[in-house]
Amino acid sequence: MEAMIPLFLVSLVVGLVVGVLAGLLGIGGGMLLVPAFKLGYAMDSLMCTATSLFTIIPTSISGAVSHIRNKTCLPKLGVAAGLGGACMSPLGVWLAALSPDWAVMGAAALIIAYSSVTMFRKALKAPKATKPVASSSQPDASALSSCHPERSAEGAEPKDPATSEPSATPASLASEESPEPPVIIAHMLPDLLNLYGDGGNVRILEQRLRWRGIPVEVRRIQHGEAVDFSQVDLVFMGGGPDREQKLASEQLLAMRDELAVYVEGDGPLLAICGGYQILGRQWLWGDELVPGLGLIDMETRRPGTSADRLIDNMVLESPLAAHPVVGYENHAGRTYLGEGVEGFGRVVSSCGHGNNDDDRVEGARYKNVVGTYSHGPLLSKNPEVADWLLARALERRAGRTGTPAADLAPLDDGAELAANASMVKRLS
């Protein structure tokens, strides 16, 4: 019995290593267990393979459960492949029993060697983490189809691809410390308002400044945190599900006076979908009337519980861009603008609804505030809108810090504009 203790401990250590590697890399435990059993315990080949298969069962179950929880696997595909393997495994056991010891070990060695070489080659070919190279290759909601993308049910919470990198240009990043003060971007409540990759707009704004050698600082204001808007040059508010939007609205209402001073002082602000609705006098949460910030003379209504959501790709004509503006909308509320508020753009594509599906107006502009239902993120295929916001942010920084206003040097937006043109062509 005592002789079994060291054997058990060694096996436990080997199992721990196999479990980590199986979950991390997806390799089969046999890659380690078969040679370990053969060399360490002098087991015959058939017993090595059989024992390794047995040990893989709990490892595979544990790893599969973790990956299913993290949504990093395709369960249906895995079940189909697993059933196929289970059906054919008796054939393999029969062949192993008939095969000589050297053939079993040779076959195992070949499989292990092939897997190792393949994984090593993939590792060598994997791109290194450098600056991003193209925004147009990043899939977003607008690329699902031409008009009429797949519709989601009322209240559905879309997945967030928001962490995608903004596009790159041949311009070089600023690598040295700059004596000028940074442009301060306040990303409001990214933990609540960040659907459809809306937070990617902040990354695009940040990167377009860095490509020009302009220092920038992004302050992500989480739920429950405060911000001094007098020290901010650009504000961003994304969209969110109804529950999160209501939580965000409550916190923003507590900041209403400070935000009003910021807006009336020509502070640039970009708001998407739910964030856009919150800027108005009111919006509806189910049947409940929720007070908005009242920063813009507008209100959002819901036409009834049976009304369809407004979901589509769209092309806009906007005074903020020489090229058409492309985007993707998904909203239930109908927004109506008051006096003194202009639209962000006008829907010119055959598909797309805009604010309310009545007047073809999309979004809103008031002073340097831009509100829109365009997800995507919006700025990935509309660099002119991004630069309009950045120009306003540089003007505010100049006034806030007493430094000369900086000019926005041109960037090579060929990839972005090509993606824009492609969507315009598809939606025309």
What residues does 291 pair with on adjacent strands? 282
Task: Indicate if 375 belongs to the active site.
Answer: yes
As a whole number of angstroms, the distance between CA 126 and CA 121 comes to 9
Residue 190: asked if its preceding bond is cis (omega within 30°), the reply is no
| Three-state SS letters, 50-80 | HHHHHHHHHHHHHHHHHHHHHCCCCHHHHHH
Provide the residue type at 79 as one letter.
V
In 3D space, the residue among 370, 387, 388 whose CA is nearest the CA of residue 211 turns out to be 387
46-79: string of b/e by CB count within 10 Å (b at 16+)? Answer: eebbebbbebbeebbeebbeebeeeeeeeeeeee
| Catalytic-role residue among 187, 273, 331, 351 | 273
What residues does 270 pair with on adjacent strands? 236, 370
Provide the residue type at 87 as one letter.
C
| Catalytic-role residue among 323, 331, 353, 375 | 375
Provide the residue type at 88 as one letter.
M
In 3D space, the residue among 52, 141, 108, 122 whose CA is nearest the CA of residue 377 turns out to be 141
Pairing of strands 369-372, 282-285: unpaired
Provide the residue type at 114 as one letter.
Y
As a whole number of angstroms, the distance between CA 401 and CA 404 comes to 9
Task: Indicate if 351 belongs to the active site.
Answer: no
Contact 307, 332 (CB under 8 A): yes
Reading phi first (left if > 0) and then psi (alpha if -120 to 50, else beta), residue 251 is in alpha
Q: What's the farthest any 2 CA atoms get from each other in the chain?
A: 88
- Phi and psi at residue 313, to the nearest 5°: -75, 155
The catalytic site residues sit at 273, 375
